[in-house]
């Protein structure tokens, strides 16, 4: 199963097996990765599952939709080039080994 590495603000990391088709938010929740709040349960409605993807990895991801782009304007932590909502990133084999960093605040 492809893996995703969740990096906490303190630098600690969790490597998690993510079934294809699951979102990175769901995988984080189901593996009890802290720092992903996901108040709306994946509806792209709350901007509390914000993550930073390493710039080099951005090309592996599907583009940001207009809705996600708007919600990223509303995150609690600053928006950077690598900002994504983890509920909007669906796992695929091509994303194996992806590292996402969790911001220090979501709300």
Instruction: Kindly indicate which of the ranges 8-16, 24-32, 51-59, 90-98 contains the residues binding other proteins, using the contact rule CB under 8 A.
Output: 24-32
Q: Is 71 in the site for other proteins (CB under 8 A)?
A: yes
Q: Are 99 and 56 in contact (CB under 8 A)?
A: no
Q: Which is nearer to other proteins, 69 or 97 (CB)?
A: 69
User: How would you list the strands of the sheet with 13-17, edge to edge?
Assistant: 13-17, 3-7, 98-101, 50-53, 83-85
Q: Is 15 in the site for other proteins (CB under 8 A)?
A: no
Q: Which of 1, 5, 45, 94 binds other proteins (CB under 8 A)?
A: 45
Q: Is 70 in the site for other proteins (CB under 8 A)?
A: yes
CB count within 10 Å of CB 48 equals: 22
């Amino acid at each position: 199963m492809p893996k995703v590495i969740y990096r906490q603000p303190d630098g600690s990391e969790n490597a998690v097996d993510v079934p294809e088709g699951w979102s990175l938010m769901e995988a984080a929740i189901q593996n009890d990765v802290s720092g992903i709040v996901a108040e709306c349960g994946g509806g792209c409605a709350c901007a509390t599952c914000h993550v930073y993807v390493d710039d080099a990895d951005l090309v592996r991801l599907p583009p940001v939709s207009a809705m996600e782009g708007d919600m990223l304007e509303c995150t609690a932590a600053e928006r950077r080039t690598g900002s994504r909502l983890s509920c909007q990133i669906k796992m695929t084999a091509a994303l194996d080994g992806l590292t996402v960093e969790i911001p220090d605040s979501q709300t």
